[in-house]
Structure 1
Amino acid sequence: MRKFIALAGGLLASILGSAFTGLAMGTWVFQHTGSATQYGITLVINLLPGIVFGPVAGALVDRYSRRAILIGSELVSAVTVLGLALLYAAGALQPWHIFVVVGIQSLVRALQLPALSSVVVLLAPKDQVSRANGFVMLAQALGNTVGFAAGGVLLLAIQLDGVLLVDFATFLVNILILAFVRIPRPPRSETASEAEGRGLLAEIRVGFRVLGTRRALRVLLLFSAALNLSLGFADAMLTPLVLSFASAAALGLVVASMGIGAVLGSTALAMWGGPRRRVNGLAGFALPLGLFLCVGALRPSIPLIVVAALGFTFCFTITDGTNRNILQLEVEPDVQGRVFATYNVVSGAVLAVAYVLAGPVADRVFEPLLRPEGSLAGSVGSVLGTGPGRGMAFLMLLVGVVMLITAALAFVQPSLRRLADRPATRREPEEARAAAVGEVA
């Protein structure tokens, strides 16, 4: 477990540096061009290449050394941000340079995420896997809160090139830590052997086949998709909902509460490990997650939304961590790169669909329904209120109800209950390490 904590420490340094840079690059593009469209392009490029490349990335993670992939990913990221810093210092930096680097980093993350997820079971004892996931999620949550907040301060203090050099230094720190962490190779399984020697495409299909043909894992993936759909709608509607009745400063408070919820949830996982019965970590925390969505929709009140946002992200973090914990314990270690890549592709695609649908559905359907003269003003409007933002609140309420129904169905789904509660069927990490004596990734 000490090796994994060291790896998580390096990951935290790298994520914090990337958070500094992510905020700084997007801000520079907007300030340099004055175009919200250009800024939006940055966000799309940050997401799309990783989704498209994800299945290939998973096959590469399982085919090659995980440690080599992690070190190589950090080296590529370090070289790209150093290149941006040199361009900025020379006065030659252009928005398209930022777009290229953001796209490269999206591809790099597509490799890193399944590699990190599959490393957990190789470095942490079985009974500590959930806590190890908590440490990874804590690093990510701190990057998304402390990292972004500090990134704004650093941008003002040391300019874009200074922020990029700080990020470059964090990559070097993580590379140094990875160089001294031994990662055993996972034992070969029958699942992986079936695709061996049949080409990259056959290897890619393994991830889809494992999640698609094992009934319990298929149910787990559907549950995760519903969870991410609720997250996507909540995330997409939060800003316009709050700004429909409050100030930008109030929105900042709500966003901060979401970050705090994620930090608290991941800290709880790291210290506690989650419920002993894993179905309680899935459906048990999805129930209050849905309730928090419903509560946040009831009134145009900042204190109410702050509490709901904090509770939502806290519960989401526990549920998502438990979900990944089950996959790590139920899937053979040597195919986890492909399985987690497929899982991440599905999660990312569901989030993207939610982002695309939320705005038009709210603007064209729900907002008109709850205008003062809308068709639901006298019924739903008597509870939620009418006017700007209340249609979005109604949509948020319905998403919360769907999440409550999903959680209830998960509790009574036999295959999911057996999957969440039975002991792991894979070889223990200690056995994997014993089988891989002398090998390093």
Structure 2
Amino acid sequence: MLGMHERKKEKGKMKKTLLQTNFPFLRLWSGQLASQIGDRIFQLAIAWWILKTTGSPFDLGVFMVLSTLPAVILGPLGGTFVDAFDRRKIMVLADLLRGVLLALLAFLFFKGSLSIHHVFLVAPLLAAATAFFEPGLPASLPHLVTEEDLNEAMSLQSLLSSFAGFIGPVFGGALVAFLGVGGGMLVNAASFFLSGALIFSLSLPKGTGRTDAGEVFSQLVEGLDFAREQKALFKLLLAFAGINLFLVPNLILLPMFVSGVLKGAPSSLGFLEGAIAVGMAVASLLISRLGEAKDKKRLIIVSLFLVVIGVVGMASLKDFYSGLFFQFLIGVGVAAINVNMGLVFQRSVPDEMKGRIFSLVGMVAFCSFPLAYFWVGFFAQAKGVPAAYLVCGVGLIVVTFFTSTIRGLSEIGEVGEELRILEQA
């Protein structure tokens, strides 16, 4: 009787999360939480400073381009370096460089000598450092968690992004109002120093050791060849590009929708953006508690349908509360897609290739932003916000159908079977 009572008691206990049981993962997660919140604060602070100082939306656009273009160009090279050299050192150096650059901007601001030219000079340097940091993060996860815990780790990473997306703008607005733009810069600098210190305490692989220029270039080509030859992986990368191309426009259309269609206040925009983050957080928590889906293809397609419903719903929307619901749906779908696509890449790419492949994923994401901004800006101005949302919905339906045709995607996930399945696709 006592043994049965103890088993029931044990069964009733909540399972502890990786943040409670895996201290190395907790350090990585905490560092990323700090730096992502810091990034959000800096983005708000610098956008505010540019518009107040120059009064030019064009200057803000130039800053955004300078903040993304180097990541597109250097992304594959950054991934190659992550595979070839010491991942921990690369990530720590990237964090330290970003922290120093932001501290320098803050110094110039408090000194009263900060100019738009300083900001334009620092922006691509920050982006270049990010290009070398980002591929190392997902490539390091399998060395910090077990195979069985990868699903929860990816879910917690998604939860981190949604939490930072919700807290960063709210906290950043209050912080900039209280401490000023320079204070926002210093907080982001401190977040990078903290992230670097936490990553420095981790034990991560040192790479292949092939360090001469010729070998590094050959590894870069090898990574590109791998992505092209693995048909299912390459098609999934195309689907990821399509999702970004038709979903990123929500970031531009949402402010237009609030001001033009709803005639709402900035607070309304904040709540709608927050609804996306809440949806992502809810989905991430559910995925982490329910465990890894066996049929990732089906879950990705269902998640895409949720996103389609949310986007098409925005096309016919007339009231604020329905907007909250549709944005929440988009957030749920986005989180589920991110986690499961991330798991597919984790399962199907050898460790020595992970840096290069994840840098390609990042490059696709970065490329999609200017392309999406370009097409939706012109289209929304010519045809209106509802029509632009409708086109995005149709585009996402096409992407959903394309994803459903990827052979071998459902079976990915069995340890030791990933590459064989991809080769047969």
| Partner deviation per Cα, 1:312-354 (whole Å, 9 max, x = no partner) | 1221121022111111111011111111111211222233212
Q: How far did residue 409 of structure 1 move?
A: 4.2
**Mapped partners of 2:270, 2:37: distance in 1:** 20
Give deviations 1:168-225, integer Å, cap 9, x for gaps. 3222322222222112346x6xxx99x9984433222223212211111112112212
Aligned-partner Cα distance in 2 for 1:213–1:109: 28
Residues 14 and 170 of structure 1 are in contact (CA less than 8 Å); yes or no, is this contact kept in structure 2?
yes
1:368-387 matches, within 5 Å, as none
Shift of residue 72, structure 1, vs aligned partner: 0.4
Structure 2 gap segments, 5+ residues each: 1-21, 420-425
User: How far apart are 1:76 and its partner, in Å?
Assistant: 0.3
Q: 1:201 to 1:416 in 2, by over 3 A?
A: same
Q: Percent identity?
A: 21
Counterpart-to-counterpart distance in 2, 1:75 and 1:274? 35
User: Could you tell me which residue of structure 2 aligns to residue 292 of structure 1?
Assistant: 310
Amino acid at match of 1:180: S
Q: Which residue of 1 aligns with 2:181?
A: 160
Change (3 A) 1:100 1:274: farther
Answer yes or no: is the 8 Å Cα contact 2:85–2:206 preserved in 1: no
Aligned length, in residue pairs: 396
What is residue 9 of structure 2 aligned with on the other side? none
Q: Secondary structure at the match of 1:276?
A: coil
What is the rounded CA distance, in whole Å, between the counterparts of 2:76 and 2:255 in structure 1?
Answer: 32
- Kindly provide the CA deviation profile for residues 57-82 of structure 1, in whole angstroms up to 9, marking residues without a partner as x: 11111111111011101110111111
Alignment CA distance shift 1:144-1:104 (3 Å): farther
Query: How far did residue 101 of structure 1 move?
Result: 2.2
Stretch of structure 1 that moved more, 244-253 or 45-54:
244-253
Q: Which amino acid aligns with 2:246?
A: S
> 1:385: which partner in 2?
none
Structure 1 unpaired stretches of 5+: 368-388, 428-441
Q: 1:348 aligns with which of 352, 366, 384?
A: 366
Distance 2:133 2:288 in 1: 20
Shift of 1:412: 4.5
Instruction: Answer yes or no: is 1:20 the counterpart of 2:41.
Output: yes
The code of the aligned residue for 1:302 comes to F
Give the CA deviation at 1:274.
Answer: 4.5
Tell me how far apart the structure 1 counterparts of residues 289 and 411 of structure 2 sit (CA, whole Å).
25
Q: TM-score, normalising length from structure 2?
A: 0.86
Moved more, 135-144 or 341-350: 135-144
The answer to whether 1:122 aligns with 2:143 is: yes
- The aligned counterpart of 2:331 is 313
Distance in structure 2 (CA, Å) of the matches to 1:89 and 1:109: 25
Q: Shift in Å at residue 405 of structure 1?
A: 4.1
Give the match for residue 407 of structure 2: 414
**Aligned pair in 2 of structure 1 residues 106, 266: CA closer, same or farther (>3 Å)?**
farther
Give the corresponding residue for 2:255.
Answer: 239
Alignment-derived partner of residue 433 in structure 1? none
* Residue 31 of structure 2 corresponds to residue 10 of structure 1: yes
Q: TM-score, normalised by structure 1?
A: 0.83
Is the CA contact (8 Å cut-off) linking 2:41 and 2:168 kept in structure 1? yes
Correspondence for 1:283: 301
In structure 1, the residue matched to 2:195 is: 174
Give the AA of the match of 1:201. Answer: F
Does the 8 A contact of 1:268 with 1:274 survive in 2?
no
